[in-house]
Amino acid sequence: MKNLKEMREEAQKCLRCGLCQVVCPLYNALGSEPAVARAKVRLARELADGNLKVTPRMKKIMSLCLNCKACVANCPSQVHTDELVLAARARIKDEDGLPFMLGAALKQFLPSNNLQGAAAKASYLYQQLGLQKAMRASGLIKAVSPDLANMEAVMPKFAPRTFRAELENMKLKRGGKIKVAYFLSCMTNMVNTGLGKAVVDVLERHGCDVYIPADVQCCGTPQLAYGDTETAEALAKNNARLLAETGADYIVTDCGTCGDMLRKYEELVPEAAGFSAKVLDINEFLVDKLGVKPGDKPVNAVVTYHDSCHLNRGQKVNRQPRELLKAIPGVTLKEMAEADRCCGGAGSFALTNYELSMQVLDRKINNIKAVNPDMVAAGCPACKMQLEHGLERHNMKIPVVHPVELLAKTY
């Protein structure tokens, strides 16, 4: 990845026209110029030139970005503000370091499958034994820390066993015509294990031999987002090697964010040359490479689709999920307004900027409410978590599913 100095020319492309204001979810919520792209571009340029120093104010401004890429898509000069922000965060991290807990999460916890597995088990027990309900009812968490209470409120429902643990008893079929490596995301592993099973089932029914390297680690997106490029590069090197060793024809992901990151591996590690061309989102792979072959059981439901930013603007995958949904017998696809507008999750943004994230999310939920669907479909597990929280806040009992989960229901 280019450092901030190498990206200085990118910052000079900005015309300061302000068109980024129209599409920036955070500017819409805050009405503040530092929140918008052109301000961050100017600050990044001044930081690169040494005219500004890293200060708490600078760090706060650069943290206020969802990396949704809407500004890039709407920019007449095609300034890659998303990359400039990441480069600025990397400079800030190099100069100021990372807070202890954040550094431990990025360098030790997220890269460790064992620690993730233990945390998932503890979280499942916390929820199933009634501790979560009791803690919320008592108000103790909020009394200790309102911020901690907000983080706990976004907590998804954890699976009783991780997908890695399920893999030990799964008998993957062989004899298919296409060899596929399935990249296991952290969220699918710990939370959405049903999605992992649906992906395997659907791929096998489409004539694929599925290989799942169990030792792959976090894709590296959180590390890159906080400026820890060294850890991101180490993760990319390990994952690219393990996936390449399968000898697969294609590398498939079910997470828009992971897929977007995997496609950046060639920029991070020279050893990954040619890797990106093999990476496909599961919706894209089914529609463009295999042709969707649904089963006979209808899924009678009105479904609206939310575009994940990393899937839509990152990977340019937006047509395929809709075509997949339309191919499912019984499904009526009903588009919501602003389907491609960010839901405000952005990885950990909802945890660190809860109230602001909820302002962005409320607009999305109101658009869903106007459609009155039976289900919401999304191609990113992190978006699923955010949308579920928003629907719960609005007392809307509407499930959020991945398109492939609906396809699996037809068999």
Identical fold for domains 8-96 and 294-408, yes or no, is no
DSSP symbol at 34:
G
Backbone phi, then psi, for 368, in 5-degree steps? -65, -45
In the prediction, which pLDDT does 274 show?
87
C-beta separation of 336 from 306 below 8 A: yes
Q: Domain segments of the chain: what residues?
A: 8-96, 102-153, 163-289, 294-408
In the prediction, which pLDDT does 3 show?
80
Question: What residue type is 34 in one-letter code?
Answer: P
Question: What residue type is 235 in one-letter code?
Answer: L
May I ask the CATH architecture of the domain 8-96? Orthogonal Bundle (1.10)
Measured distance CA(289)–CA(186) in Å, rounded? 26
> In the numeric block, which tokens belong to residue 376?
């919401």
Backbone phi, then psi, for 156, in 5-degree steps? -80, 170
Kindly report, residue by residue over 226-280, the tens digit of the pLDDT. Answer: 999 999 999 999 999 999 999 999 999 999 999 999 999 998 888 888 899 999 9
May I ask the CATH architecture of the domain 294-408? 3-Layer(aba) Sandwich (3.40)
**CATH number assigned to the domain with residue range 163-289, chosen from the 4 options 1.10.3720.10, 3.40.50.1860, 3.20.20.450, 3.30.360.10:** 3.40.50.1860
Q: Is 277 exposed, middle or buried (0-12, 13-18, 19+ CB in 10 A)?
A: exposed
Between CA 1 and CA 371, with CA 320 as vertex, the angle to 5 degrees is: 110
> In the numeric block, which tokens belong to residue 201?
């089932």
Q: Residue 343: which residues within 8 A CB-CB, separation 6 or more?
A: 306, 360, 361, 364, 383, 386, 387, 390
Measured distance CA(3)–CA(88) in Å, rounded? 8
C-beta separation of 72 from 84 below 8 A: no
In the prediction, which pLDDT does 256 show?
95
Measured distance CA(293)–CA(276) in Å, rounded? 26
Stretches in the chain below the pLDDT threshold 70 = none
In the prediction, which pLDDT does 149 show?
84
C-beta separation of 309 from 342 below 8 A: yes
For 241-302, give the DSSP string: HHHHHTT-SEEEES-HHHHHHHTTHHHH-GGGTT-GGGEEEHHHIIIIII-----SS---EE
Kindly report, residue by residue over 156-207, the tens digit of the pLDDT. Answer: 999 999 999 999 888 999 999 999 999 999 999 999 999 999 999 999 999 9
Alpha-carbon Rg for the chain, nearest whole angstrom, is: 21
In the prediction, which pLDDT does 193 show?
95
Measured distance CA(330)–CA(292) in Å, rounded? 15
Q: Looking at the DSSP assignment, which residues form a beta bridge with residue 376?
A: 304, 400
**Relative orientation angle of helices 131-138 and 146-153, to the nearest 10 degrees:** 140
In the prediction, which pLDDT does 393 show?
93
Measured distance CA(391)–CA(350) in Å, rounded? 15
